[in-house]
Structure 1
């Protein structure tokens, strides 16, 4: 598979413009919106860019998924031909990942074979469950006085030093 090759033309903070010379390339069009691009820094680290806008016939405006320190104009960029994807399923429970789906918890890498694009459409309303079920937290006071619904949002308000973080950590574990 050949990748469309471009070159960095402008860097303004996390925003990177990439020029693709489609006249010299066999590709006929720019990378699609929300597609991922890959650039290798001078130190060998890879940086992922996400296409946000087409500017003219040959340039795309992207947002960097990490710092742009060390990037230079003229650096080669490869179009990956797909959007940024995140691994899904049982394997991701309890794992720490960065914004592009790479593990940062120093455990074994995740299998990306069942990954979903980060910009996929939300589920249809008919597919959502409407039954309400109580979340058993294991903390008797919360379960009795303020039960939470499964799948709902939980907010804790309180002054400094009253134990909000401790309570959230107990709910997570």
Structure 2
């Protein structure tokens, strides 16, 4: 099992829902979680430019892949020190769910802290869209700004966090789930 907080939350929530008798479909991107035999898992690929690091100009294994619109957006955004994965994942997930919808019916779509604009598109698929918010990015942004030592560091940290997108999306969803102790 992937040890990130969201991966652990996804693992146990999907397992509990399946044990309660629900059919569970999970959409994930790298880093992929471990096996979840109780769920139908769809893996969305991406070029993972952020994890590869900034020094790489083009992906060595597939340099032409950056010219796909979302890949190009991610490539440029990471070079500008932004974190585009929440937006790009939500758009890729919407595209995938749009195709799946023809074969499967969803009672609800649950997002785990992504809060990308693609969730607003998912509302058009006919199922309510809810999200779990573990911690608003505005809190992370504030802490990062407090630690910044220069104007350029502040600017980089402001650009990194897509808090405006998360705020706008969270206000337009059908429901919000928060965690507690």
TM-score by length of 1: 0.21
Higher helix share: 2
Mark the structure with the bigger radius of gyration: 1
TM-score by length of 2: 0.20
Higher strand share: 1
